[in-house]
Chains A and B, each alone.
Chain A
Amino acid sequence: MSAADRELTDAELRNLHAYHDGELDWLSRWWWGRRIARSQRLRHELEQLTELGDWIRESESERNPELWDRIAMRLPAIDSARAENSGAEPGLVPESLDQSPGWLENWTGFRPILAAVATAAVAVVVALGTIGDVPGQRPGAVRWLDTGGRSVIVLDNPEAATIVWVLENPVEGV
Chain B
Amino acid sequence: MTRVVWSMAVVCILVSVLGAPRLARAQSGDRYDLEVTVASISDEEGQIDPRGTRLDGELRKKFRYNSLKVLETRHFNLAMNEVGSMKLPDGKTFNVRPINLGDRGLLLALEWTDVLMMDMNAMSGHLLVIGGSKYQGNELAIGVEPHYGN
Contact = CB atoms under 8 A, between A and B. Distances in A.
A77 interface: yes
A18 to B, nearest CB: 6
B115 A114 contact: no
Main secondary structure of the interface of A (DSSP, over half): mixed
Interface in B1-28: 3, 6-7, 9-10, 13-14, 16-18, 20-21
A15 B120 CA distance: 20
B52 interface: no
Contacts of A144: 118-120
Interface in A16-65: 18, 23-25, 27-28, 31
Interface in A120-174: 121-122, 125, 131-134, 137-148, 150, 152, 155, 157-158, 160-168
A112 interface: yes
B122 interface: yes
Contacts of B107: 23, 143
A163 B13 contact: no
How many B residues are at the interface, by size bracket? 35 or more
A74 B118 CA distance: 9
Contact of B104 (A18, A118, A137, A161): A137
B131 A23 contact: no
Nearest to B81: A14
B58 A160 contact: yes
Contact of B134 (A158, A163, A168): A168
A132 B120 CA distance: 18
Contact of B118 (A28, A145, A168): A145
Contacts of B130: 164-166
Interface of A: 18, 23-25, 27-28, 31, 70, 74, 77, 108, 111-112, 114-115, 118-119, 121-122, 125, 131-134, 137-148, 150, 152, 155, 157-158, 160-168
